[in-house]
Structure 1
Amino acid sequence: MFTAATPPHDLGLTWRNRFADLGESFFSPTPPTPLPAPHWVGFQHTLAQDLGLPPDTHLNDAALHAFTGNLPLAGSQPLASVYSGHQFGHWAGQLGDGRAIWLGEIDTPAGPMELQLKGAGLTPYSRMGDGRAVLRSSIREFLASEAMHALGIPTTRALCVTGSPAPVRRETVETAAVVTRVAPSFIRFGHFEHFAANNQVDELRQLADFVIDHHYPECRQREGNPYAHLLEAVSARTAELVAQWQAVGFCHGVMNTDNMSILGLTIDYGPFQFMDGFNPAHICNHSDSGGRYAYHRQPNIAYWNLFCLGQALLPLMDDQQQALDALEPYKTLFPEALQRRMGAKLGLSSVQPGDAELTEAFMQLLARERVDFTIAFRRLADSVSDSLTPVRDLFIDRDAFDAWAARWQDRLQAQGGADREAMRRANPRIVLRNHLGELAIRRSREGDHSEVDRLLQALLAPFDDRPGEDDLAALPPDWASQIEISCSS
């Protein structure tokens, strides 16, 4: 049993805690609130190794308690940061880390990384919330974070999930869990909006200088205003990120400005979804009744959010036009990035005139019949060295598919053929579908966490054929379409 007198646990980590050096205008010191009887639910061993953790960490009872928030880690400085933001297009005012507690920053072979406990109890910014996370949402974030990383998409990471029998009320009474999140920084657009809205220009400049110095040093190496260069760099990363989302059929679900990473990472996995049947207007968030964050609106919402960031940075710039000029490249960078990625999915080795139309025609075919997004592209990749029949069989209107396929094959022939393996590396066999996560969650609620690990291992190799795991790459069952994921998820 650990008590307040128990000394902090030492995992042999070297802590730096640069964010904590900014001062208490930026955060409130906040210790985690303990949970009873914790247990391991999921653990990412490769990430643990990359962070420099001991190989037996997952067997260590003290580490279990530390990553649940029951035992301090030696060298950490727990805090909750303050930020503001726009939620569903409306100014929400002050927000902040309502259920995430920043432990600190550690040195790793990949550079400094911050650790955060999500679900570790009340903070000064919890508002009407309880500061807790439940098992289902924690498993989803754990799996999604690592799945996105394996797909090559910038994201926060997840080291582990711990569970507890402590009750947490959402729509029903559920059990508590804590996710240990990892990222070079958890700073969001909303951090900048907070200080701009409160006319705290000194703090705004301090934050911007911090981000530039530690994450965008090139912004000081160019001539001109470094804060305008920062906005342009964030815009470029965001354009690339959203293009990657679109290319794998990923819907974020809550693209509020406080859920947008200043580093261009996917952050805050709530009501996300990898699409099954393709629908450009798909809304994955049951709370999003107006469809603001539908799949096809994500690129424009990202630009809207960047515009809000630009407004927040205006006090540090020479004039408004400087901010607008910094945002302008997004309008060309995003479509170029998307076409490159979609072209790779179709086996196109370079971007040529007519490729955008060829891509759009295939997307329209998928949308017309709600054909499964992931399976259609994967079968298309396999058809390069095999028959088109498995892809063709996904469509009711075979004549329409045949007409498109003839155009596609002519395009491939013009470039000398396609590299099947390159296509397979652009088209995952396995993604984290909602029903796969739901099945793992159901098993975990019964005390069996083996399905979480099985699914994690498959998601860490999303492009590989893995014998005995055809169920993870199959068409979703009928009941999958009835799963509803909301902001409370």
Structure 2
Amino acid sequence: MKRTLSICTVLLKDLRRTMGSTENVNLTTNFKEWKFKSPPNYAQLPINDNPEYNVPVAVNNAVFSKVPTEGLTGNLRLVCLSDDALAEVLDLHPAVAEDPDFIDFVAGKYLPDGGMSVCHRYGGYQFGFWADQLGDGRAHILGEYVNRKSESWQPQLKGSGETPYSRFGDGRAVLRSSVREMIASEACHALGVPTTRAGALVVSDDHLVYRDMHYSGRARQERAAAVLRLAPAWYRLGSLEILHKRKEPELAGRLADFIIENHFKEIDPAEEDRYVKWFSAVAHKNLDMVATWQGTGFTHGVLNTDNVSVLGLTIDYGPYGFMDHYNEHFVPNSSDDMGRYAFNRQPGIIIWNLNKFSEALAPILTEYQIQKIEEIKATLEEYVKNKVLATYLRKLGLNNKIEGDTELVDSLLQLMQDTSADFTMTFRQLGELESAELQDTARLNEKWSLKKLATSGDKWAAWVKRYQDRINKESVPESERRARMCRVNPLYVPRNWIMQEAIADAEKNDFEKVRFLLQVLRKPYDVNAEAEARGFSAEPPSWAYGIKLSCSS
């Protein structure tokens, strides 16, 4: 283990020497000096300004509602922050964590100059059924920030109080779900998954809310928390769907034009077929995203249309899960009784959601444009199938697609499922061995996940032979194959059992495990001695395999 892991580490360190660093950039340390762009671009869109902002109401003819945050009360604690997200996105030095104004900002108690707090109106299909108006029930977009790279970002708080879209909720989030969102956002970013980011997490000692975590009828008090989330924009498929259902086509066209002009610069906003090109871009960005999910074993858990970004970003981390042992029917959400959002169904569900999105666009399209979108839709299943295959081939150290590759991948996944081999570590350990060592019993015994695969006997031997032949057909040297695999197959992902332990400590105000986990997952491909000592890449404990999460947060 030590020999092969060190090879991966050296290869990755060499790669990073060629990459830039933000360490020497002049970052803001005094948070009072940090300001939003004023006015934000989204101020150009219709904003409802109802003085009873915290009363659930059906909002019409608006994209946003103007709603102030309701800050957390009581003694506040900074649970953790992402140095990378603060520096890369907001030009903030990690030292701002010591600034009380920054803590108040994350808690929803302080809005910097230029801020405009709004909540977004959208609808959605939940588990296949139209749920009508949903919207930001506990989240506030705070403003627009243009960073040193000329990128526009919209910081958003989750857990910052009631809104017109709260649907009789309390507008709060709790610590356990906030930790999970914080960790997953940053982990997915490091894994190359298109995603929203998370900058910091604050919890109150005294602000308590009631939650029924298991929907058992036994609610308990939990501490309220708030997460600082970051995205270029927060528009979802449901942003257009609500306008379609409420018969607001003029506003739908205005919103579509605004999103195209501000977030899809590759599309000419004056072009007649801009909506067709926009649908194509939204579709392909989301299918590219779901292919990365399939390659990391990530299962979102609640792929309702309101949880799908038009920007193709992973959004709204709830009862998600990273698979331990491979199971194509993996469902992390205890509320998903029918397995609608199972791991293997994610690409198809994204296409189903895109079909609903095309229906929402229909009122602003010509018959010709509707037909053009139908033609695009007819290609999406094959597109994502090829994207997922290409993802798996890269995980196997291969670049070129040839005949028989689908069977090569499918047969490995079936073996993994039959033997309960681990998803993450199977691919990593394949890259830690020479292909000639894949039938060496002594070497396999050092690799706990490959050892499981080898229990299939002749089936494993047959697959190894097929893999070796495939490597030879591409004429890829062993050193190059293994280097490729080290770059795309992580050692560490945010497994539920690891997060459960971190959350249990955090609820006792011990945040060391949360912070350490963020540190490790920032570099998921590098061997971390302390993470190894804590078993982060070892076989998960037996109790880990039964963990499921609910939507309760």
Is 1:101 aligned to 2:140, yes or no?
yes
Aligned to 1:58: 97
Distance 1:203 1:223, change over 3 A: closer
- Structure 2 counterparts to residues 123-134 of structure 1, below 5 A: 123-134=163-174
Partner of 1:480: 544
Query: What is the TM-score normalised by the length of structure 1?
Result: 0.95
Residues 28-87 of structure 1: CA distance to partner in whole angstroms, max 9, x if unpaired?
111111212111001011211121124421000111011101122221101111111100
CA contact (8 A) 1:317 1:323 kept: no
Q: Give SS of 2:346's match.
A: helix
Q: How many Å apart are 1:216 and its aligned residue?
A: 1.2
Instruction: Map Cα deviations across residues 422-443 of structure 1 (whole Å, 9 max, x no partner).
Output: 1111111100100111111011
**Matched letter for residue 472 of structure 2:** Q
Provide the alpha-carbon RMSD of the alignment: 1.5
Q: Which residue of 1 aligns with 2:41?
A: 18
Which one of the candidate residues 383, 395, 416 is aligned to 1:333? Answer: 383
Structure 2 distance, partners of 1:294, 1:176, is 30
Provide the rounded CA distance (Å) in 2 between the counterparts of 1:72 and 1:14. Answer: 9
Which residue of 1 is the match for residue 3 of structure 2? none
Supply the distance in 2 between the matched residues of 1:481 and 1:394 (Cα, whole angstroms): 16
Q: CA deviation at 1:370?
A: 2.1
**Partner Cα distance (2:357, 2:315) in 1:** 16
Instruction: Report the alpha carbon displacement of residue 223 of structure 1 after superposing the two structures with TM.
Output: 6.1
Alignment pair present for 1:76 and 2:115? yes
2:325 equivalent to 1:287: no
Counterpart residue number, 2:352: 304
> Which residue of 1 is the match for residue 456 of structure 2?
397
Aligned pair 1:227/2:227, yes or no?
A: no
CA deviation map 1:120-165 (0-9, x unaligned): 0111100021110000000000000000000011000000000012
Three-state SS of the structure 1 residue aligned to 2:201 is strand
Deviations 1:340-396 (A, max 9, x none): 110011111211111111011101101112211011111011113783213541222
Code of the aligned partner of 2:45: L
Once residues 393 and 161 of structure 2 are traced to their aligned partners in structure 1, the CA distance between those partners, rounded to angstroms, is: 45
For 1:462 and 1:12, the matched residues in 2 are separated by: 31
Over 3 Å counting, the alpha-carbon distance change for 1:58 and 1:385 in structure 2 is: farther
Percent identity, aligned pairs only, is 39
Alpha carbons of structure 1 residues 134 and 11: separation in structure 2 relative to 1, 3 Å: farther
Question: Equivalent residues in 2 for 1:322-361 (5 A)?
Answer: 322-361=372-411
Name stretches of at least 5 consecutive residues in structure 2 with no aligned partner: 1-30, 48-61, 213-219, 439-443
Q: Partners in 1 of 2:362 and 2:460 — Cα distance?
A: 50
Paired with 1:178 and 1:378, the residues of 2 have a C-alpha distance of 35
- Conservation of the 8 A alpha-carbon contact between 2:161 and 2:171: yes
Contact 1:81/1:96 (8 A) holds in 2: yes
Q: Bigger CA drift: 148-157 or 418-427?
A: 418-427
User: Is the CA contact 1:145–1:156 (under 8 Å) kept in the aligned structure 2?
Assistant: yes
Secondary structure of the 1:177 match is strand
Distance in 1 (alpha carbons) for counterparts of 2:487 and 2:140: 36
1:314 matches 2:373: no
Q: Distance in 1 between matches of 2:263 and 2:377?
A: 19
Matches of 2:174 and 2:429, distance apart in 1: 37
Q: For 1:33-432, what aligned pairs fall within 5 Å after superposition?
A: 33-35=70-72, 36-50=74-88, 51-110=90-149, 111-165=151-205, 166-171=207-212, 172-220=220-268, 224-319=272-367, 320-384=370-434, 387-388=437-438, 389=444, 390=447, 392-395=450-453, 396-417=455-476, 418=478, 419=480, 420-432=482-494
Kindly indicate whether the alpha-carbon contact (under 8 Å) linking 2:124 and 2:238 is maintained by their aligned counterparts in 1.
Answer: yes
SS across alignment from 2:267: helix
* Residue type at the aligned position of 2:409: T
Q: Which runs of 5+ in 1 are unaligned?
A: 1-8
Scaled by the length of structure 2, the TM-score of the pair is 0.85
- Structure-2 separation of matches of 1:454 and 1:405: 37
Stretch deviating more after TM superposition (435-444 or 219-228): 219-228
Name the residue aligned to 1:6.
Answer: none
Q: For structure 1, which segment, 265-274 or 13-22, has the greater mean C-alpha deviation from structure 2 after superposition?
A: 13-22
Q: Distance in 2 between matches of 1:411 and 1:386?
A: 13
Structure 1: distance between partners of 2:94 and 2:330: 42
SS of 2:32's partner is coil
